[in-house]
Amino acid sequence: MNRGKLLTVIFLVTAVPTAAVIAAVRSEPIQPIEPAKVANPALVELGKKLYFDPRLSKSGFISCNSCHNLSMGGTDNIKTSIGHNWQEGPINAPTVLNSSMNLAQFWDGRAADLKEQAGGPIANPGEMAFSHVLAVDVIQSIPGYTEEFKKAFGNETVDIDKMTLAIAAFEETLVTPNSRFDLWLKGDDKALTKVELEGYTLFRDSGCVACHNGPAAGGNSFQKMGLIEPYKSTSPSEGRSAVTGKDADRFNFKVPTLRNVELTYPYFHDGAANTLGEAVDIMGRLQLGRKFSDEENAKIVSFLKTLTGDQPSFLLPILPPSADNTPRPTPFEK
């Protein structure tokens, strides 16, 4: 230890009081999630209503919450999602929880941030099948909404930028602190059982943390699905290469967060793994070249379940009614 480091250690040890030492964060590749800070509550309230509003879809039936259901870990718990006219989606809906921590949005990272992402499904013919122009027309015609735009933005004009900004502002609040793993990270030795801690140690020391690290335990890099062994899937998705055009990016996907993973089944971009046990087994073999024993697998699964944090807690939003001149949904129009 050189002299500078030694001095720093001494300074920390002497300067930090006991309570803070207990609350100190353990030095681990996964860090705790902190509660969201809300800068503009009116913007978040508006975004929450828009997030729950199926009038952003052609059918009047599909909202953001349909596939990123906040009652179910921010997912739909279906292999691939159901879109307009019951179309089968090409990919598993990723959780919206803690998604503000992702380096980019969608499995292939084609949206830079939550605001850009929010505009995608509205206009996707296979999802909400609407258009930005029509969505703006609907929202602009609803007096209860224009009042909220005034509160959030200072004026009543509705446009898609403001709408997606509001949805993103709401989504930024959807973080899940206080998981048992975070309590342990913050120094509470009793927060994890012996088996859970053994599971974490195995998870860390086997190399899972190479990709699943940071506060979200993932979401911060693109990695190849099928590193040691190729991943066999019926899904046509080739991941990141669709964005970069580079052959080297084929089957590179954004590493999903493991936060609340107990709630976000089924797993992988194709939703092919129904249980955490399956997912751990496949990841071990394909990404690490390691076959976990049943006991090891169970230990890792028990650790993963400690990553479930506080779920979103708010009153069910009540949406402002359409006006007489609000364009009506056309769910069965060909």
CA–CA distance, 64 with 135 (Å, rounded to integer): 13
DSSP annotation of 126: T
Q: Is 282 in the site for a second copy (CB under 8 A)?
A: no
Q: Which of 78, 123, 191, 209 binds a second copy (CB under 8 A)?
A: 78
Q: Is 245 in the site for a second copy (CB under 8 A)?
A: no
The one-letter amino acid code at 218 reads G
Q: Is 311 in the site for a second copy (CB under 8 A)?
A: yes
Residue 258 contacts residue 33 (beta carbons within 8 Å): no
Q: Is 316 in the site for a second copy (CB under 8 A)?
A: yes
As measured in angstroms, the least distance from the Cβ of 180 to a second copy is 15
Q: Which of 47, 66, 98, 268 binds a second copy (CB under 8 A)?
A: 66
As measured in angstroms, the least distance from the Cβ of 187 to a second copy is 27
DSSP annotation of 56: G
As measured in angstroms, the least distance from the Cβ of 306 to a second copy is 14
Q: Which H or E run includes 135?
A: helix 132-140
Q: Which H or E run includes 253?
A: strand 252-254
Give the count of beta carbons closer than 10 Å to the beta carbon of residue 190.
8
Largest interatomic CA distance in the chain: 75
Instruction: For a second copy, give the closer residue by CB, 82 or 160.
Output: 82
For a second copy, the binding residues in 166-185 under the rule CB under 8 A are none
Q: Is 154 in the site for a second copy (CB under 8 A)?
A: no
- Sketch the per residue contact string, 86 through 105, with a second copy: x for CB under 8 A, - otherwise: x-x-----------------
Residue 222 contacts residue 252 (beta carbons within 8 Å): yes
Q: Is 71 in the site for a second copy (CB under 8 A)?
A: yes
CA–CA distance, 306 with 27 (Å, rounded to integer): 18
Contacts of 65-71 with C-beta under 8 Å, sequence gap 24+, read 67/93, 67/121, 67/127, 68/93, 68/95, 68/96, 70/96, 70/174, 70/311, 70/312
As measured in angstroms, the least distance from the Cβ of 110 to a second copy is 25
As measured in angstroms, the least distance from the Cβ of 17 to a second copy is 36
Q: Is 82 in the site for a second copy (CB under 8 A)?
A: yes
CA–CA distance, 115 with 131 (Å, rounded to integer): 16
Instruction: For a second copy, give the closer residue by CB, 213 or 308.
Output: 308
Among residues 127, 148, 171, 172, the one annotated as catalytic is 127
Q: Is 35 in the site for a second copy (CB under 8 A)?
A: no
148 is catalytic: no
Q: Is 313 in the site for a second copy (CB under 8 A)?
A: yes
Lookup: tokens for 140:
């602009």
As measured in angstroms, the least distance from the Cβ of 7 to a second copy is 48
CA–CA distance, 258 with 216 (Å, rounded to integer): 7
Q: What is the separation, in whole angstroms, between the first and last Cα of the chain?
A: 72
Q: Is 266 in the site for a second copy (CB under 8 A)?
A: yes
Q: Which of 61, 143, 150, 201 binds a second copy (CB under 8 A)?
A: 61
The one-letter amino acid code at 214 reads G
As measured in angstroms, the least distance from the Cβ of 204 to a second copy is 24
Q: Is the CA virtual torsion 114, 130, 325, 160 positive or negative?
A: positive
Q: Is 334 in the site for a second copy (CB under 8 A)?
A: no
Lookup: tokens for 37:
């800070």
Q: 179 — phi, psi (to 5°)?
A: -60, 160
Q: Is 333 in the site for a second copy (CB under 8 A)?
A: no
Which residues are paired to 254 by β-bridges?
222
Instruction: For a second copy, give the closer residue by CB, 207 or 312.
Output: 312
Catalytic residues: 127
Give residues in contact with a second copy (CB under 8 A).
Answer: 52-55, 59-61, 66, 69-73, 76-79, 82, 85-86, 88, 262-263, 265-266, 274-277, 311-319, 321-322, 324, 328-329, 331-332
